[in-house]
Amino acid sequence: MKGFFLFFLAFFLAALSFAEAEPLSLSEALKRALENNPEVRARSYEIRAAEEKRQAAQGALLPQIDFLAEAKRRSDPQAVVPIKGPGEFPSFSRDIYAVEFEMVLPLYEGGRLRQQIKIAEAERAFRESLKRQTLLDLVANIKDIYFYGLYLKGLIKAREVALKALREEEKEAQLKLKIGRLAPLDLLRIKTQVKAQEAALVRSREDLRRTKEALCVLMGEAPRDNFSLVGKLPKKLHLPEVDLSKALSRRPDLKAQR
């Protein structure tokens, strides 16, 4: 029984380490985000609703046909044909049927119907512009968070190397202290550097975990950190200066609001 438990524990740890090694590239993260991001999906539903509203406004220009059929059966016969003159006896019946057919064709309402169509088309264009802006913002946020995660990944490796070197230096300082070749204050200074590097390493690992969780949220998934980021940080680009007022004037959402 104990051997089976150890085997199950080893299998679970191996599966966990395999899950943690799941790679996630930038292109895959962008693909998942564009497909599953809740805000993008909400924008798509808004566009669909605006399109339905436009079709409803356009349908008001078409002929409207109403058809009504009714059948009644009474306990006693009743007159169904009025008396036309003296000496004529009306017809009686227990069954009464009625059929109505009506067609309405809108001709002119002061341009109200066509104006509603224009408003619906403008609203649909506005929703489409919002979706495009949402997609642009999402792509930018995914890239920023992903590159920040790559930066943290490299920073963690660098701090692990630095911590290993400091611990080796600490061991060497302890030996020097025993033979009287190092002052206690110098050893205390090295230990302080080791603790500071350990705290910085823990902080970097926590930042990377939170970065991965934030990336999952943007991808429309449950927050998790059992995957690895692959790729390299892009080289620094020297972008030309941008006129901020001109750039804001070209944003589709600001245009639609104006």
Question: Is pLDDT at 258 greater than 90 in this prediction?
Answer: no
Give the per-residue pLDDT at 18: 44
Which of 122, 125, 129 minimizes the C-alpha distance to 252?
A: 129
| Total count of residues recorded for the chain | 258
140 falls in which pLDDT band (50, 70, 90)? Answer: very high
Question: Is pLDDT at 36 greater than 80 in this prediction?
Answer: yes
User: Mean pLDDT over residues 120-137, rounded?
Assistant: 92
Give the per-residue pLDDT at 1: 52
**Would the pTM of this model clear 0.75, i.e. be above it?**
no
- The answer to whether the CB of 132 falls within 8 A of the CB of 252 is yes
**Of 45-59, 60-74, 80-94, where does mean pLDDT reach its minimum?**
80-94
User: Mean pLDDT over residues 209-238, rounded?
Assistant: 87
Give the per-residue pLDDT at 151: 93
Give the per-residue pLDDT at 238: 64
67 falls in which pLDDT band (50, 70, 90)? Answer: confident
